Amino acid sequence: MSNTKQFWIHCLTPMHIGAGRGLGHIDLPLVREKATNFPYIPGSAIKGVIADSYQADENSRKSNPALKAAFGITDSSNNESGSNSGSLVFTDARLIALPIRSIYGTFAWTASPAILQRLKRDLQAANPTAGLPDIDVAEKETVNVTNSSVLSAKDNKVFLEDLDLTAATNDAAKQWAEFIAGNVFVQQEERDAFVKRFAVLHDDVFNFLSETGTSVDAHIKMDKDSKTVDKKNGGLWYEESLPAETILSGILWCDKVFGNKELTQEKLLTDYGKNIPLLQFGGKATTGKGLVRFITEGGNK
């Protein structure tokens, strides 16, 4: 598909994109996909944050034709001809690599065959020349790692959280690790670290970790008189976050530009589809949550 880019989001701090009040033991859970239950970032949230990074508020969009064309505007006078939805289109950012605690190598960036197959399909739309192999993990007790992995002991055992797995060196895993690292990271030592910690799990094992491997933090409101938890007013609650180092990905493209012959799809995508070193997604901004890197032009581009 022309005028299309793959974008990547690398979490630098824990990130909470909430789904409202939860029904289980987590009061404020993450928003999750309906079918897979994987955490994700809605495309509407991504477009809003990117627009805000370019200071594309209502007044700026009215005075700047490029901002109006890229991000859209609603005409408060109810004049439909003065409204447009914006030509830049952001899909949801879907989970690619979830960091999981490891006894060896500190932590692993974990993925699954299903995760990588979806990514491969997206890559065909954004970059048809990106030929990457299919990958399969036949046994739940097996984890595919690269030949430079630091995750396994001498007996090829890998311990992720409380899971005891057997490592199998896989060339396809290495190709995927190098591709993702080349798109997300700039420094060679960062890319090498990703390759050494990349692990492909069985789909069922990854599904389990995607539900249990997130960060869950307790928040406490104190009673000012007793200096204890204010239980009467809901002073104790649990909030779920994607851990730092999580990697997500989606597709960005530019639709036809209406009402402005001077602006092209290529120009809008070039001007507003660039790498942004630091953005903030989700809640808890004042406590440092949700800081991410937004990448559209990695080393492999």
- Mean pLDDT, consecutive 10-residue stretches, the chain (301 aa), reads 87 91 78 95 95 91 90 67 80 97 97 96 78 90 96 93 94 96 95 98 97 89 72 77 97 86 89 93 90 85 46
Q: What is the pLDDT of residue 300?
A: 55
Q: Is residue 221 part of a domain?
A: no
- The burial class, CB within 10 Å (0-12 / 13-18 / 19+), for 276 is middle
Nearest to 254 by CA among 274, 232, 270: 270
Expressed as residue numbers, the domain containing 150 is 4-17+31-213+242-295
Residue 111, in any domain of the structure = yes
In the prediction, which pLDDT does 301 show?
Answer: 46
What is the rounded CA–CA span in Å between residue 274 and residue 272?
A: 6
Report which of 112, 140, 116, 144 is spatially closest to residue 130, judged by C-alpha positions: 116
Task: Please enumerate in sequence order all residues whose Cβ is within 8 A of that of 89, keeping only pairs 6 or more positions apart, or say none.
Answer: 43, 252, 253, 254, 255
- The model's pTM: 0.91
Q: Is residue 80 part of a domain?
A: yes
Q: Is residue 236 situated within a structural domain?
A: no
Whether 51 maps to a domain, the answer reads yes
Number of domains observed in the structure of the chain: 1
Could you tell me if residue 223 is inside a domain? no
Residue 35 belongs to some domain of the structure: yes
What pLDDT, in 10s, does the model give residues 126-164?
Answer: 776 667 899 999 899 999 999 999 999 889 999 999 999
Confidence at residue 82, expressed as pLDDT on a 0 to 100 scale: 61
Structural domain contains residue 45: yes
